């Protein structure tokens, strides 16, 4: 389901000189050896056979010394990561949820978004661009791992164990469920299923991992805490043994949580598509100094800075503002959003409903330098993906200073030299591959390490370090 079968090899009888030749009589006529017509016929036969042999020889030479495009494709190999095993879960934990896709989110019909292995609807005739939903990473990761060269079907050979639970899609369908027992039931059932497996007992789940397409906050409801629809998945003791990939980790209590990129709209299948896009981002004219795509957030303290951003951007001739809100909005039109960012040198990334934003990864894709107002929008989230030197690819303006107008955003950005802007943009453009989710149907080596490859490498190092520190000898499953 998650990958296309390769095109069938053309039958041999479609190659030149393999068609059935004319039938010749087996009866020898010794009296016709001096017959001119026989001589001509024999010469023609020899010439025809020689020509076919000559042509066939050249075909073989060309085939082996100058491979076709198909044979030139580099086969994908497991490079830099340990092998992983994928659990076969009962369908109710993943694919079975898609049968009721119209009910997977209380705010929108998810059926168009779960199509194409979670990539969503195509934006062009190409398979590279899709209207990908921001909370769908868990499906894309599952599809990528199904077709990944590091996958093993033998648990005895696995370093990692992947649990393909669509927890984000499920929790968003239960936000308004008042019965906590019912809201938590699928998460509890998942843990009961996993801990009963012999693979779990290998290292007590230390080598297991989950991928969630929503923020960690949606899985960390506590007794006595605010109830905004979350379940208790990440607070379950056994899940704390696992590694969790999530688009937003809890900065203070998410020790086993690791931030992964929100999916953007670009899903290349080859390195050529990637390099072509990067080249285009380098060559663009960017007439706007900065831009902001977003809206105000009423009643959210962490989003208060947005009010000041909208005001300052609206008053500046050097800023492009795309306001988001209820009703018709261009904020949900991928090419409009990317188009604004592609014309901007800096893209403002203010916290919203949570600390992180998909817009951060859209801006990187557009070659636009992100400007952050909270360290939790990126710096404490995506350590696996972003450079340690924060100023090499981003600008930080304290939200307290910007929020009360003590610092004028335009003045801060204008103070950065054009040489420094160019250098920062180059760093940003070089980050695009590792922050991108390659197309799940790519059957050959795409030629670059994407977001999934980076996560696998870091998970492998994490588990190997645990094994060395605990000196645990893995059990075999016979």
pLDDT tens string 12-61: 233 233 333 333 333 333 444 444 444 444 555 565 665 656 566 555 54
Residue written as token pair 């090499």: 392
Share of the chain above pLDDT 70, in %: 79
Candidate from 110-124, 202-216, 398-412, 453-467 with smallest mean pLDDT: 398-412
Evaluate whether 265 touches 131 at the Cβ level (below 8 Å).
yes
- pLDDT grade, residue 383 (50/70/90)? very high
- pLDDT grade, residue 473 (50/70/90)? low
Residue 340 predicted with pLDDT over 80: yes
Residue 346 predicted with pLDDT over 80: yes
* Cα torsion through 394, 396, 399, 401, rounded to 10: -140
Residue 124 predicted with pLDDT over 90: no
- Please tell me the predicted confidence (pLDDT) of residue 39: 41
Which tops the pLDDT comparison, 5 or 247? 247
Positive or negative, the CA dihedral 57, 61, 63, 69 is negative
- pLDDT grade, residue 475 (50/70/90)? low
Whole-number Cα distances in Å, 300 to 20, 37, 161, 331, 410? 78, 99, 38, 20, 24
Candidate from 55-64, 244-253, 273-282, 400-409 with smallest mean pLDDT: 55-64
Query: Crossing angle of helices 271-283/418-431, nearest 10°?
Result: 160
- Please tell me the predicted confidence (pLDDT) of residue 81: 83
Distance CA 431, CA 427 (A): 6
As given in the structure block, the two tokens for residue 360 are: 């951060």
Residue 156 predicted with pLDDT over 70: yes
Distance CA 475, CA 472 (A): 9
- Please tell me the predicted confidence (pLDDT) of residue 28: 37
Positive or negative, the CA dihedral 148, 213, 206, 453 is positive
Burial of 68 (0-12, 13-18, 19+ CB in 10 A): exposed
Evaluate whether 428 touches 344 at the Cβ level (below 8 Å).
no
Highest mean pLDDT among 225-234, 402-411, 427-436: 427-436
Residue 312 predicted with pLDDT over 80: yes
- Please tell me the predicted confidence (pLDDT) of residue 70: 37
Positive or negative, the CA dihedral 325, 327, 328, 332 is positive
- Please tell me the predicted confidence (pLDDT) of residue 117: 96
As given in the structure block, the two tokens for residue 180 are: 């906590």
- Please tell me the predicted confidence (pLDDT) of residue 292: 97
Evaluate whether 329 touches 385 at the Cβ level (below 8 Å).
no
Which tops the pLDDT comparison, 223 or 420? 420
- Please tell me the predicted confidence (pLDDT) of residue 233: 98
- Please tell me the predicted confidence (pLDDT) of residue 154: 96
The three-state secondary structure class of 382 is: coil
- Please tell me the predicted confidence (pLDDT) of residue 46: 61
Share of the chain above pLDDT 90, in %: 69
Evaluate whether 366 touches 341 at the Cβ level (below 8 Å).
yes
Whole-number Cα distances in Å, 348 to 72, 332, 338, 352, 405? 43, 17, 13, 12, 15
Residue 255 predicted with pLDDT over 60: yes
Distance CA 207, CA 286 (A): 46
Residue 3 predicted with pLDDT over 70: no
Candidate from 66-70, 112-116, 211-215, 426-430 with smallest mean pLDDT: 66-70
Report the pLDDT averaged over residues 191-214. Answer: 95
Which tops the pLDDT comparison, 424 or 36? 424
Whole-number Cα distances in Å, 4 to 7, 211, 403, 450? 9, 23, 50, 20
pLDDT averaged over every residue in the chain: 85
User: How many helices (H) does the chain have, and how many strands (E)?
Assistant: 15, 12
The three-state secondary structure class of 405 is: coil
- Please tell me the predicted confidence (pLDDT) of residue 469: 83
Composition of the chain by helix, strand, coil, percent to 5: 45, 10, 45
């Amino acid at each position: 389901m998650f990958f296309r079968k390769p095109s069938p090899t053309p039958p041999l009888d479609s190659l030149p000189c393999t068609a059935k030749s004319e039938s010749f009589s087996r009866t020898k006529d010794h009296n016709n050896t001096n017959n001119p017509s026989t001589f001509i016929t024999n010469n023609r036969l020899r010439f025809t056979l020689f020509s076919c042999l000559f042509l066939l020889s050249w075909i073989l030479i060309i085939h082996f010394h100058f491979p076709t495009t198909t044979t030139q494709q580099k086969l994908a190999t497991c490079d830099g990561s340990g092998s992983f095993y994928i659990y076969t879960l009962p369908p109710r934990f993943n694919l079975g949820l898609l049968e009721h896709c119209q009910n997977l989110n209380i705010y929108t019909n998810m059926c168009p978004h779960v199509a194409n292995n979670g990539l969503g609807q195509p934006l062009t005739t190409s398979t590279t661009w899709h209207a990908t939903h921001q909370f769908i990473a868990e499906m894309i990761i599952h599809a990528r791992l199904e077709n990944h060269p590091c996958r093993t079907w033998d648990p005895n050979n696995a370093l990692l164990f992947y649990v393909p639970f669509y927890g984000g899609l499920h929790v968003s369908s239960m936000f308004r469920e008042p019965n906590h027992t019912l809201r938590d039931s699928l998460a509890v059932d998942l843990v009961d299923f996993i801990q009963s497996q012999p693979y779990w007992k290998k290292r007590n789940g230390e080598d297991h991992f989950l991928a969630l397409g929503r923020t960690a906050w949606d899985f960390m409801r506590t007794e006595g805490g605010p109830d905004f629809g979350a379940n208790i998945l990440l607070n379950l003791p056994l899940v704390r043994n696992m590694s969790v990939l999530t688009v937003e980790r809890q900065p203070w209590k998410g020790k086993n949580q690791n931030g992964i990129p929100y999916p953007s709209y670009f899903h290349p299948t080859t390195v050529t598509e990637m390099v072509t896009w990067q080249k285009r981002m380098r060559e663009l004219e960017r007439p706007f100094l900065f831009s902001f795509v977003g809206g105000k957030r009423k009643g959210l303290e962490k989003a208060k800075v947005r009010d000041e951003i909208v005001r300052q951007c609206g008053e500046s001739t050097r800023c492009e503002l795309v306001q988001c809100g209820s009703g018709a909005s261009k904020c949900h039109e991928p090419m409009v959003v990317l188009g604004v960012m592609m014309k901007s040198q800096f893209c403002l990334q203010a916290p919203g409903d949570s600390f992180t934003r998909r817009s951060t990864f859209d801006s990187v894709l557009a070659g636009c330098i992100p400007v952050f107002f909270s360290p939790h929008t990126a710096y404490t989230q995506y350590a696996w993906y972003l450079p340690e030197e924060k100023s090499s690819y981003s600008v930080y303006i304290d939200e307290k200073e910007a929020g009360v107008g003590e610092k004028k955003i335009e003045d801060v950005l204008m103070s950065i030299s054009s040489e420094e802007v160019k250098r920062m943009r180059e760093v940003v453009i070089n980050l695009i591959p590792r922050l991108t989710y390659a197309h799940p149907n790519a059957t050959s080596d795409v030629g670059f390490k994407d977001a999934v490859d980076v996560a696998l490498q870091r998970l492998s190092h994490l588990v190997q370090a645990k094994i060395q520190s605990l000196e645990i000898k893995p059990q075999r499953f016979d």
